[in-house]
Amino acid sequence: MSNRTTVTEFLLLGFSDVQELQILHFVVFLMIYPTALVGNLLIFMVIAFDHHLHNPMYFFLMNLSILDLGTISVTVPKSMANSLMNTRSISYAGCVAQVFFLLFLLAADFFLLTVMAYDRYVAICQPLQYERIMNSRACVQMAASAWIGGILFSVLHTGNTFALTFCGGNMVDQFFCEIPQLLKLTCSYLSEVGVLSFTVCLGLGCFVFMIVSYVQIFKSVLRIPSEQGRHKGFSTCLPHLTVVSLFVCTGTFAYLKPTSSSPSPLDLVVAVLYSILPQIMNPVIYSMRNKEIKAALRRLTGCR
């Protein structure tokens, strides 16, 4: 295709060309998707309706659940519909929307995890100042900054990507519209190099901030004289640390691995890992090791 205006739709990569395996893919996603929805909705409802959980940590966790709900809803339903209807197409506008919302939600997710690391730092390293520093106004401003930062990040990347000329066909080697795969279809993506460099610097900055925060947290926890106090300090941070590790490891592997020139099953697996797995596991991670959430769930459902 000679120019971008002639591209009216993209063809996504299917998990299989065999009809039976497409149905299997639909059934697997049909089990995964509601599980993620129910898990994140439960976390949201428990925090929203239980006044015992109205504090900064759970306020940020509620925002994280909303972002996870959106992230998995951007890619999975379209893939399920394509498998069920035995089609691979997505409109140009649909692809733009998918890229925008996926980048927005993933970026906001990462920024929010950075804010949550700061919250844990203040709670453990400056406990006497916690209520003053992490007041309701500050929490709303931090959460809003994460959401706005995600929008700006997505606008920058999405606008820059779709401003390029597509001349390499319209076959996207992924089950959703993904920027590395779209760049393979462009005539030249040198203009994206500067944006990618900025993204790497921004991501490294947030990651280093989280590392420094946790170094200070571990130092403070290790200075606690009682074993019970140290255990409580570590258990408070463990869910967030696990979620960050899962998000960073899957995302880094997905975007830093070399992009293959032909469709690869590894690309599909990696995409599932970073776009679906964290959204399923986050509610599990936070609820399994958190007695307050377990108690709130019991109060909400009326179970003993």
Span 30-56, pLDDT tens digits: 888 999 998 899 888 888 888 878 889
Domain count, the chain: 1
The CATH number of the domain where 161 resides is what?
1.20.1070.10
Q: What is the predicted pLDDT for the residue at 257?
A: 66
Cβ-contact 240, 40 below 8 angstroms? no
What is the pTM for the complete model shown?
0.88
Residue 189, pLDDT score: 64
Q: Which pLDDT does position 147 carry in this prediction?
A: 96
| Rounded alpha-carbon distances, angstroms, from residue 9 to 88, 126, 303 | 10, 54, 50
DSSP 132-169: HHT-HHHHHHHHHHHHHHHHHHHHHHHHHHHTSPB-S-
Q: Are the C-beta atoms of 72 and 66 separated by less than 8 Å?
A: no
Which range of residues forms the domain containing residue 146?
4-301
Residue pair 275/73 in contact by the 8 Å Cβ criterion: no
pLDDT recorded at residue 1: 40
Q: 158-192, pLDDT tens digit by residue?
A: 988 888 888 867 888 788 888 888 888 877 666 66
pLDDT for 96: 92
Q: How many other C-beta atoms can be found within 10 angstroms of the C-beta atom of residue 271?
A: 19
Tokens for 188, please give them: 């030249």
Length of the chain: 304
Identify the pLDDT of residue 84: 82
Nearest-angstrom CA–CA distance, 251 and 107: 11
Low-confidence ranges of the chain (pLDDT < 50): 1-5
What single-letter DSSP state applies at residue 25?
H
Task: Let me know: does 4 contact 165? Beta carbons within 8 Å.
Answer: yes
18: left (phi over 0), alpha (psi -120 to 50) or beta: beta
